[in-house]
Amino acid sequence: MSEKKKARISRREKALIRTKNKLSSPWATAISIIIAVLWTIPTVGLLVTSFRQNRLAISTSGWWTSLLPKNWSDFGLANYKTVLGGTYNLGAYLTNSFVITIPGVLIPISLALLAAYAFAWCDFPGKNILFIAVFSLQVVPVQVAMIPLLTQYVNWGINNTFWVIWLTHTIFGLPLAIFMLHNFMCDIPRELIEAARVDGAGDVQIFLKVVLPLMVPATASFAIFQFLWVWNDLLVALAFTGNTASTAPLTARLSDMVGSRGSAWYLLAPGAFIAMIVPVLVFLFLQRYFVRGMLAGAVKG
Amino acid sequence: MVIAILLFVAVVGLVLFLTNLPKHMPSWGVAATFLFPAIILICFGLIYPAIVTFKNSFYGRDGTQGVGWANYIQIFTEPQFLRVLLNSVLWTILVPLLSTAVGLIYSVVVDRTRFEKLAKTLIFLPMAISMVGASIIWKFVYDQRVGLLSAVYTWVAKLFGHTVRAPQWLMNAPLNTFLLIFVMIWIEAGYAMTVLSTAIKGIPEDLVEAARLDGLNAWQQFIYLTIPMIRPSIVVVITTVAMAGLKSFDIVRTMTAGNYDTSVIANEFYTQSFLNQNTGLGAALAVLMFIIVIPVVVFNVRQLRKSQDVR
């Protein structure tokens, strides 16, 4: 898309760009650089620290001093090895994060696709009111549901298992998922659905063979949302996992480490980057879908 | 995990199979079976618990003894909780205003420059980093001994001829609350920038050129053309980020755990409900969060109605 756009830049637009740049710099340049630096340097600092092996140096000198060539020999993977195994055992928590996230994304999306289809293409009494109710629920703070849910889970004896976390993420993700997927689904041309109906297809066939294939990009964009939300979640994790190596995700463990090991930067820095790497990669590769979902969720609402 | 997914696939398959069974299922029947799983979960997991929490907010510590409005009175009279409320107000106002301002300014200044894509990705990236990760990144910046902020502070002091030690940034109220709020701004600015940047690109070329021919300079264009044209998007961004600011939990929990006068409603809810085992007070805090959010819900429903009318 961007290439096509580039080709279509007319001379008039080029002139416009030139004028605009002339008008706005150098102030604009200065502002943009300041913001960009402020938004990037903190992460770079911690990343550099995560590779510094001299623990004494980490807790006494700024990370920028390690960039001097005479200190380069200090860099290595020792900190990562320390946190991944042994008593810190971040490897186990990393696995938990995956085990929590995959069903935590798949289940709500499938249920939401079904519900969104009903809202978009079926007629039934009270449809609008029900839809507005679902829409409103997405802004209800999850806190109002947590304690009674926990009581339920304890009564059923499934507390501190993955089941609880999957179920909770599904419940909390559903309102937004239904709302967003419904928005996308309404964009499918009515004629396509009608045509399939005329050909004698039932709703299930239409859902599976007409709607689902068209919904792949939209579903992907919501999936990234849900992925980031579940992977990065702390509240549900702290409330329902019991914070042990058998079920807790990375975020809970890290938050715990910050509390108990205040300034052990040689542990926290690599820990933070291990937790970050997966969502950042997903995000960088699928940025376009993510932006699409964001715009559909926000601007259409 | 595999069992969960298989079990779940079986459920969805069953729903589809049952819907397909009768030759001519009426439309409401299809809707009913398709909606069934989602509605059941929402009722069980959101609506019913919300009602219970509302009831609990009028009960004492363990939820067995009715105490009337006592929990609410406690929140609105004890200094500790007034501080929490004040902090939440600061979060809910400052985070949306400042992150929208940063996002707006940034998207205007990098618009159609050569490095636009890279520049935007840099600002956007914190959205992917978990709030826990972001908290660790910034806790490092705020570290008294090796943090960048401390280094800049002592360096500036030296310029003025003073030799000072950097303060314990996160223990100094009220400064610490603002330092925490900045972390949230750092995360949310990318969201504001992306939505607003898309809106700016939607402004018709002719208008921009007309404004230029009328002799408006960059600043005037921004005030008289850009801002009015993208007002709806600005409103959406501000309300969305305001809700995020109100619900903010991870940053406070990770950076200070609510100590040193930094707690907010969402964090206090966690502390009271899970750590202090004070269900009644926790419930009252949750209900408060809900009440604060209601105007936003009403506003958003109106927006939704409007956009449906257009469609």
60-79 in chain B: CB under 8 A from chain A: none
Q: Is there a contact between B209 and A12 if contact means CB atoms under 8 Å apart?
A: yes
| pLDDT on residue B284 | 94
Q: Is there a contact between B105 and A135 if contact means CB atoms under 8 Å apart?
A: no
Average pLDDT (B216-232) is 84
209-228 in chain B: CB under 8 A from chain A: 209, 212, 217-218
Tell whether B205 lies on the interface with A, counting CB pairs under 8 A. Answer: yes
Size of interface A-B (CB pairs under 8 A): 340
pLDDT at A8 over 60: no
Q: CA–CA separation, B309 vs B259, rounded Å?
A: 48
Report the range of poorest mean pLDDT among A64-78, A105-119, A267-281, B187-201: A64-78
* B133: nearest Cα among A257, A217, A292, A48: A257
Q: CA–CA separation, B294 vs B112, rounded Å?
A: 39
Q: Is there a contact between B146 and A61 if contact means CB atoms under 8 Å apart?
A: yes
Question: In this structure, are residues A118 and B31 in contact, taking their beta carbons and an 8 Å threshold?
Answer: yes
- pLDDT bracket for residue B82 (50, 70, 90): very high
Specify which residues B200 forms β-bridges with.
Answer: none
Tell whether B290 lies on the interface with A, counting CB pairs under 8 A. Answer: yes
What are the start-end ranges of the E strands in chain A? Answer: none
Segment A112-121, tens digit of pLDDT = 999 998 888 8
Give the three-class secondary structure for A159: coil
Average pLDDT (B246-268) is 91
Closest CB to A204: pick one of B8, B20, B28.
B20
Quick one: tokens of A277?
Answer: 């790497």
pLDDT at B309 over 70: no
Q: What percent of chain B has pLDDT over 70?
A: 95
* B251: nearest Cα among B81, B129, B78: B129
Q: Is there a contact between A271 and B279 if contact means CB atoms under 8 Å apart?
A: no
Tell whether B1 lies on the interface with A, counting CB pairs under 8 A. Answer: yes
- pLDDT bracket for residue B37 (50, 70, 90): confident
| pLDDT on residue A171 | 92
Residues of A within 8 A of B208 (CB-CB) are 16
pLDDT at A7 over 70: no
Reduced 3-state DSSP string for A50-71: HCECCHHHHHHCCHHHHHCHHH
| Residue of B146, B256, B289 to mutate for A, most A C-beta atoms under 10 A | B146
| pLDDT on residue A13 | 61
Report the range of poorest mean pLDDT among A83-87, A186-190, B122-126: A83-87
| pLDDT on residue A3 | 45
In terms of Cβ atoms closer than 10 Å to its own Cβ (0-12, 13-18, 19+), residue B72 is middle
Q: CA–CA separation, B271 vs B274, rounded Å?
A: 6
pLDDT at A66 over 60: yes
Q: Is there a contact between B141 and A103 if contact means CB atoms under 8 Å apart?
A: no
- pLDDT bracket for residue B1 (50, 70, 90): confident
Specify which residues A46 forms β-bridges with.
Answer: none
pTM comes to 0.87
Considering chain B, what is the average pLDDT of its residues?
86
For residue B245, what is the nearest residue in chain A, using CA coordinates? A141
Q: Is there a contact between B109 and A29 if contact means CB atoms under 8 Å apart?
A: yes
Considering chain A, what is the average pLDDT of its residues?
83
